[in-house]
């Protein structure tokens, strides 16, 4: 396992602990000790995996789940699918079982009607094995209430075991969240106190993996000391106190790499090329109308761009090349980075005012430098441009959008005459024009600084309330995943889930086979007549000695009890069994066979692990003859 980007302070502390255990002072000496003692490598690895967990750790988080997350999941629950929850880094399973119990408490009687799956994963094989077993010591009474112990646990040797109903809902598997393909279509991911052991480069990768694994309406729960870091554009804050986040609607799908060594960490992801669609030979009327509309919007409507609150361009109409240009360096769709010289300050002020007051804002006669010609003359020539910023709010989404319209300002009449007059009075009016220009620039600068101050104050308030380490810039790179890449990742996730389910079923089949073998050997070895009857009064199992008393043969398995012809006369046998099954009380009497031998006949209710009655157990025991000199007891 690669610990390169784990917290170096944590790694050094764990190494120093092992050095103290073996009384080694120098790191070089411990490295040699590792090479000479292979078992020490395994011990150090187990120390690196800090398995610190407990049931219902942070009780207020589970109350917040019941109040916020679970109701939202239930509202978005479709009939054709169930609820899927993933707890990465589950250690010995306490976190997974705690979320499962909290969800069952919230659903109540509706739990039996809802398909539910819990996936608990960890890199430690021994921890996963403990989670599957579900046996915990008695000291869990400190974290688990008496009501939950009664409802969700069964008493076991030396402690408690999670009930079979919950264990059947939970699937545990060995899984590395940094390298292995993640699970998909999750409603909730609960990963608490795992990111604190990772450096930022791995934290960002894990958050991107969680974003991929969640449904569009999914939720993410992190630890109290953890945050989203530089990936805040993927999730929205639902509960800042308890670190509950929801997957952001319309967030850019991040490219996810399942290996730290592939494609140089895949640090940058550019736009993915999409294959061009070939025109259909049969061009019908609807397609012709679409083409006419496209030409009309392209050639005759004003240049228009649609931006979101982060000032990122999401759509364009018309010829926007005269007003926007692609900035050199890393590609960006930020409107402010692409605006041509002369538009930046006024464009920023107009959008800020439209966002603050929710009104249409227009700017007129802005001098914009040309950039379509060649040579120095074209570089320094300018033209007048009008802009309008219109706020657009959609009922289906909460985010506010803006429509920015660019238009050429109409030319003033007699331009040549005005130019000649300007040249004639240039010397006398130079100072006035310069002063007016400086005043305009000063006013624009003041307005711009005021908007910057307001934005900075809002940012500082958010930083103080959130206590976050840093907020990412509003300008983020937009990228999309190729369809083939997405399909491949989903297939890998499906294969991983199938493998996990197969491992779980294989382990359970081994357990069932072992239990069945033990039961067969137990029934064959006891010298007592025992017959197990189902709730439908059919014979399930019987011991060899039962064949002697009741005249049974192997073919009687599954036959009704009323069809057998016992060698001992037992009056009202079927009615007695039905009475025991119905009133849960043991029935006992003494019988005598044709040879005068006395037997103790007893019927007990058959109880399952869930304390339900599912039939009856009949036992027939020989009563030993009285010893000489002892007067036999009278019987009625």
Model confidence pLDDT, tens digit, residues 427-436:
556 666 677 7
- For 59-266, the fitting CATH number among 3.40.190.10, 3.10.450.40, 3.40.50.300, 3.40.50.150 is 3.40.50.150
Q: Does residue 481 have a pLDDT over 70?
A: no
Domain extent listing, the chain: 8-48, 59-266, 304-466, 527-636
pLDDT of residue 629: 42
User: Across residues 31-60, what is the average pLDDT?
Assistant: 87
pLDDT of residue 627: 42
Q: Where are the alpha helices (DSSP H) in 467-569?
A: 483-525, 544-550
Residue 421: both structure tokens together: 């007059």
Q: CA nearest 259: which of 202, 185, 189?
A: 202
* CATH topology identical between 304-466 and 527-636: yes
Cα gap 204→282, rounded to integer Å: 48
- At the fourth CATH level, the homologous superfamily of domain 304-466 is PAS domain (3.30.450.20)
H helix count then E strand count, the chain = 19, 20
Tokens 């007048």 found at:
384
The span from the first CA to the last CA of the chain, in angstroms, equals 77
Task: Please give the class, per CATH, of domain 527-636.
Answer: alpha beta
Q: Does residue 389 have a pLDDT over 90?
A: yes
| Cβ proximity of 447 and 350 under 8 Å | no
Three-state DSSP class for residue 153: strand
pLDDT of residue 361: 92
Q: What's the mean pLDDT when you consider all of the chain?
A: 79
Q: Does residue 279 have a pLDDT over 50?
A: no
DSSP 336-357: HHHBPTTTHHHHHHHHHHHHHH
Model confidence pLDDT, tens digit, residues 103-154:
999 998 888 888 899 999 998 888 899 999 999 998 898 899 999 999 999 9
Residue 151: both structure tokens together: 């409802």
| Cβ proximity of 6 and 194 under 8 Å | no
Strands 170-174 and 116-122: parallel
**β-bridge partners, 94:** none
Query: Is 391 exposed, middle or buried, given 0-12, 13-18 or 19+ CB atoms closer than 10 A?
Result: middle
> Which has more confidence, 447 or 181?
181
Q: CA nearest 539: which of 594, 469, 617, 462?
A: 617
pTM for this prediction: 0.47
Query: Is 12 exposed, middle or buried, given 0-12, 13-18 or 19+ CB atoms closer than 10 A?
Result: exposed
- For 117-121, 259-263, 577-581, which range has the lowest pLDDT when averaged over its residues? 259-263
> Which has more confidence, 70 or 576?
70
Conformational region of residue 158, where left means phi above 0, alpha means psi within -120 to 50, and beta covers everything else: left
- For 119-128, 168-177, 480-489, which range has the lowest pLDDT when averaged over its residues? 480-489
**β-bridge partners, 137:** 159
User: Across residues 52-81, what is the average pLDDT?
Assistant: 86
pLDDT of residue 120: 93
**What are the φ/ψ torsions at residue 545 (nearest 5 degrees)?**
-70, -20
Model confidence pLDDT, tens digit, residues 391-412:
988 765 667 889 999 998 876 5
């Amino acid at each position: 396992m690669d610990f390169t980007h784990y917290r170096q302070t944590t790694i050094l502390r764990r190494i120093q602990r092992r050095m103290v255990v073996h009384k080694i002072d120098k790191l070089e000496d411990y490295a040699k000790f590792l090479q000479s003692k292979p078992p020490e490598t395994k011990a150090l690895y187990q120390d690196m995996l800090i398995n610190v967990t407990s049931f219902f750790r942070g009780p207020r988080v589970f109350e917040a789940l019941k109040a916020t997350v679970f109701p939202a999941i239930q509202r978005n629950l479709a009939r054709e699918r169930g609820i899927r929850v993933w707890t990465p880094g589950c250690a010995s399973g306490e976190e997974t079982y705690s979320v499962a119990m909290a969800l069952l408490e919230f659903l109540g009687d509706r739990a039996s009607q809802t398909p539910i799956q819990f996936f608990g994963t960890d890199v430690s094989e021994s921890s996963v094995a403990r989670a599957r077993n579900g046996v915990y010591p008695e000291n869990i009474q400190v974290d688990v209430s008496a009501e939950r112990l009664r409802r969700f646990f069964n008493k076991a040797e030396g402690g408690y075991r999670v009930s079979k109903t919950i264990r059947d809902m939970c699937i545990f598997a060995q899984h590395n969240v940094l390298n292995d393909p993640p699970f998909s279509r999750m409603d909730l991911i609960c990963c608490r106190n795992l990111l604190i052991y990772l450096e930022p480069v791995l934290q960002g990768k894990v958050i991107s993996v969680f974003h991929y694994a969640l449904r569009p309406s999914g939720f993410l729960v992190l630890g109290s000391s953890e945050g989203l870091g530089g990936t805040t554009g993927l999730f929205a804050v639902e509960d800042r106190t308890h670190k509950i986040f929801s997957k952001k609607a319309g967030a850019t799908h991040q490219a996810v790499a399942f290996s730290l060594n592939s494609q140089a960490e895949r640090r940058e992801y550019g736009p993915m090329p999409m294959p061009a669609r070939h025109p259909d030979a049969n061009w019908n009327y609807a397609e012709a109308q679409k083409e006419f509309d496209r030409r009309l919007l392209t050639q005759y409507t004003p240049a228009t761009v649609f931006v979101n609150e982060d000032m990122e361009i999401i759509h364009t109409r018309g010829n926007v090349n005269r007003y926007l240009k692609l900035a050199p360096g890393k590609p960006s769709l930020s409107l402010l980075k692409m605006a041509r010289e002369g538009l930046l300050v006024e464009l920023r002020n107009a959008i800020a005012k439209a966002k603050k007051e929710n009104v249409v804002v227009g700017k007129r006669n802005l001098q914009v430098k040309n950039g379509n010609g060649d040579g120095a003359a074209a570089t320094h020539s300018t033209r007048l441009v009008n802009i309008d910023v219109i706020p657009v709010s959609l009922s289906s989404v909460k985010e506010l959008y803006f429509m920015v319209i660019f238009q050429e300002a109409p030319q003033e009449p007699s331009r040549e005459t005005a130019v000649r007059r300007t040249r004639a009075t240039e010397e006398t009016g130079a100072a006035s024009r310069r002063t007016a220009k400086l005043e305009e620039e000063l006013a624009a600068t003041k307005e711009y600084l005021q908007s910057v101050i307001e934005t900075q104050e809002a940012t500082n308030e958010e930083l103080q309330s959130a206590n976050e380490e840093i907020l990412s810039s509003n300008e983020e790179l937009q990228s999309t995943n190729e369809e083939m890449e997405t399909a491949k990742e989903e297939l890998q996730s499906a294969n991983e889930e199938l493998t996990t389910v197969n491992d779980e079923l294989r382990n359970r089949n081994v357990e069932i086979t072992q239990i069945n073998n033990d039961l067969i050997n137990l029934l064959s070895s006891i010298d007592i007549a025992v017959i197990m009857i189902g709730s439908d009064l059919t014979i399930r199992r019987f011991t060899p000695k039962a064949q002697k008393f009741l005249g049974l043969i192997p073919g009687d398995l599954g036959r009704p009890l009323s069809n057998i012809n016992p060698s001992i006369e037992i009056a009202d046998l079927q009615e007695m069994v039905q009475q025991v099954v119905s009133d849960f009380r043991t029935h006992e009497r003494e019988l005598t066979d044709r040879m005068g031998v006395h037997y103790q006949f007893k019927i007990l209710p058959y109880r399952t692990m869930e304390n339900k009655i599912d039939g009856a157990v009949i036992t027939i025991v020989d009563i030993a003859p009285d010893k000489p000199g002892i007067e036999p007891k009278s019987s009625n």
